[in-house]
Amino acid sequence: MAEFLMYFTNGLVIGVINAISAIGVSLIVGIMRVINFAHGELYIFAGYFSYHLSLTFGLSPILAMPLSVFFIFLIGILMERLLIRPTYGDEMYSLIITFVLSIVLQNSALLIFGPYPNKPPALISGSTQIFGLFHYGNQRLLSFGISIGILLFVFYLIKKTWFGKSVRAISQDREMASLMGIDHWRINMISFGLGAALAGSAGVIIAPIFPVTPTGSSAISLTAFVVVVLGGMGSLKGCVVGGLILGILENLGAAYVSTMYRHIFAFIILILVLVFRPWGLFGQKT
């Protein structure tokens, strides 16, 4: 029983981490109909920023983390303004541009940061015994908490604020929203920045547990895309549910079926969803 709870808890934690990494992709897809292939690279850059800000420049990790996310937000805004904006209306172009950008960014990371995995300092060390049953790493518990905080913030932002309302309006009908006086250029730019910042926050939160490497970015993007397709393109709720399903399934599968094929379970589910419910668990059938 203790073992099962451990597998389940770990699945839950990894699931929430999956969700926060995927929600940035989903946001951008939902609002702008742009698939950001450079998502994993933004995550990696944030991890490296946080590493260098705290270790090379001696900043406190508590300061280094939000600062790195802010940098990624700015990079996101720049990306939207320079590369994505000219492609609006043609999804194929933006797809190609972000794909090329991901290769460029991955190689620049290799050039700038070197090929080694780097791990920003953990905020907390050691582990806690949970319900007297099993030990669980403190940094993971902390990351879990922060991730839930960020998820709640994103939901609040999209569901309750004026900004969220305009974002949803644009994703429903861009022209009509513009006619109602919403500046869709600005909303797009900020949303893209926000999506990038979410990739960045996933990066800074997770890097102290799983160090970042330049070549690790494709795996991060892939997981994020699986979660988004699983949950339904553009659905925030879908991201959370998709992320959790993936995390829990992988851990239980690894525990009770085979540790060597832990990633296969996610893809089996993905294929099943694509066959029987191609619009995802919470997506809209078009």
**Pseudo-torsion of CA 192, 194, 200, 205, nearest 10°?**
-150
CB 209, min distance to another protein, A: 8
* Residue 162 or 256 with smaller CB distance to another protein: 256
Question: Residue 107 or residue 284: which is nearer to another protein going by CB?
Answer: 107
Least distance (Å) between residue 228 CB and another protein:
21
- Tell me the closest approach of the beta carbon of residue 183 to another protein, in angstroms: 42
Site residues (vs another protein, CB under 8 A): 3, 6-7, 10, 14, 110, 114-119, 125-127, 134-137, 140, 210-211, 213-215, 219, 251, 254-255, 258-263
Asked if 43 and 197 touch (Cβ cutoff 8 Å), the reply is no
State how far the Cα of 206 lies from the Cα of 23, in Å rounded to an integer: 15
Which residue spans within the chain are E strands per DSSP? 127-130, 134-137
Residue of 99, 42, 91, 37 lying closest to 69 (CA atoms): 42
> What contacts 120, CB < 8 A, 6 or more positions away?
47, 50, 51, 54, 55, 61, 64, 65, 204, 207, 208
Residue closer to another protein by CB (options 214, 231) is: 214
**Hey, what amino acid is at 101?**
L
Nearest to 230 by CA among 6, 19, 12: 19
Question: Cβ of residue 216: shortest distance to another protein, in angstroms?
Answer: 8
State which residue, 107 or 161, has the beta carbon closest to another protein.
Answer: 107
- Please say which residue, 201 or 223, places its beta carbon nearer to another protein: 223
Smallest gap, in angstroms, from Cβ of residue 214 to another protein? Answer: 8
